[in-house]
Chain A
């Protein structure tokens, strides 16, 4: 199902973030991540799509049809809640059957048909043996699958997932990511999922929509998001980034703390700042403004923590590359930094 959001606005309420001018088109069959820090409005946007919350302005179209006056129960969506919201008084099988059992008689499949469909779904999700259990008797990962099965049972045109892995531990999370991505493809779904975890978004989504303070910063394919961040927020939010004050003059950015740096830029003249990812900072042996404060192993890489005047900067070194000793000074190669104007026009 193709989903269009046009100029969605929701003003501030004490509990939830505001949204401002959100325009977004989700293609049929797409797996889109809504990425942003907590309070950025991503869950609000998801709830507006579901019809559980309402925008003050703007419109939502499902396959070209306005959802303005369509209540949540008639939108044909599947919603997976952050804490699953399973019905505690029903068994797993009855939970999954719920969406079918409540249909009006004319549209309700026969009893045996419902049973068969629930069984098929539970098998598909790898929890075929759990049908008779109650939610309280399941682990987090199992509950997550039940919640998915329940949402899928009504064959929704759009799946909405609110932090689907938020409550799971790291190992289970990684396994479920791959599995959910495959499920999405196999069932031909259109899915939107909310996350604050950039790795999750980049690994799973066809496209990522980055939200900050209620505004869409950038909607792009994960690799482009990383390579060509549209705003400093996106740059800093994806990947570990250091920020250095700088001044732009005659198309060159200079950094007070690193006198050797002269970075060509088309940023307008005046006060600016440089953003550079930890693994993009080069270290040059010899005298320089940075002093090594500590050195740690970070997986296959080495993390070097530098003092640069008042600032602390982390640099990640590739295996085999030169690593300075603690207390040593060195110079920085900042040629891969991006320069942003300090005061937006």
Chain B
């Protein structure tokens, strides 16, 4: 070795530690992924394609996309607003608000679903009122959206809160002294400053919105072809012993996760190089 290492452990110790990590990663992370794809393709590509075009599968895929398409933009706007508010103002209850933003992370997803059933279900607080008005929330699409909104709320807000303070706030003041209005400041200074962080938060939010199981399972009612999102459909097919069907949908979800991870890694690299680590 031409250079000396700072640590004095023997090379064998290092090798063992590295090997252990790699084995663990392979068993715990890589293998399940491989299994999902292997199981899906066990009977070949035609079977996979056939599983995807099943009406129930198509319905699940479309529903998942729809739920994500509604809840991700909503949470993006709300997250932006919350982060902006927390980053710019000192007000009583600010600390509480920061804690509340993170609440969905610490609450079990089952509870995140259950609250909506207790609120809007047939025997819930508002159930009778909604029933008379002819509105269905629980065991229908609105319930799925509500549960997803709740579970995925923290992603955008949490990524943005640290970015909204300090340097961004000072640049906003500079823009104002130069004559910029509130909206001009937002579009020309705030948004460009936080864009990578925002994209990052939206990606994570989207991944979770598509993959959420617990909260959605409670409010779904499991009506096939109607209120089954992709993760729920996987479970249903699995229980039907339809291995190829279950693993095909699972593979689709996994593919989405891998793509998200890839995009996230690319973003992190971009953030790191573009601003010298200074987001």
Contacts and interface: CB of A to CB of B under 8 A. Distances in A.
A337 interface: no
A85 interface: yes
A74 interface: yes
Interface residues of B, number: 20
A77 B174 CA distance: 11
B276 A136 contact: yes
Contact of B179 (A86, A90, A103): A103
Given A81-B170, A81-B173, A150 B178 contact: yes
B176 to A, nearest CB: 5
A77 B176 CA distance: 10
A52 to B, nearest CB: 6
Interface residues of A, number: 25
Nearest to A98: B178
Nearest to B172: A85
B21 interface: no
Contact of A154 (B176, B179, B275): B179
Interface string A150-175: 11001000000000000000000000
Nearest to A47: B173
B15 to A, nearest CB: 40
Contacts of B175: 87, 98, 102
Contact of A50 (B177, B179, B188): B177
A193 interface: no
B192 A73 contact: no
A108 B173 CA distance: 21
A222 interface: no
Nearest to B178: A99
Given A87-B171, A89-B193, A77 B188 contact: no
Given A88-B171, A136-B276, A52 B189 contact: no
A151 B192 CA distance: 21
A261 B114 CA distance: 88
A79 B174 contact: yes
Interface in A79-99: 79, 81, 83, 85-90, 98-99
A78 interface: yes
A103 B180 CA distance: 8
Nearest to B174: A85
B48 to A, nearest CB: 44
A103 B159 CA distance: 32
B170 A102 contact: no
Contacts of A103: 179
Contacts of B171: 85-88
A154 to B, nearest CB: 6
Interface in B133-181: 167, 170-171, 173-181
A72 interface: yes
Contact of B188 (A78, A79, A83, A102): A102
11 contacts: A52-B177, A85-B171, A87-B174, A88-B167, A88-B193, A89-B192, A102-B178, A102-B180, A103-B179, A136-B275, A136-B276
Interface of B: 167, 170-171, 173-181, 184, 188-189, 192-193, 275-276, 278
Interface of A: 50, 52, 71-74, 77-79, 81, 83, 85-90, 98-99, 102-103, 136, 150-151, 154
Given A78-B177, A102-B184, A150-B174, 10 more contacts: A79-B177, A87-B171, A87-B192, A88-B278, A99-B178, A102-B178, A136-B275, A150-B178, A151-B177, A154-B179
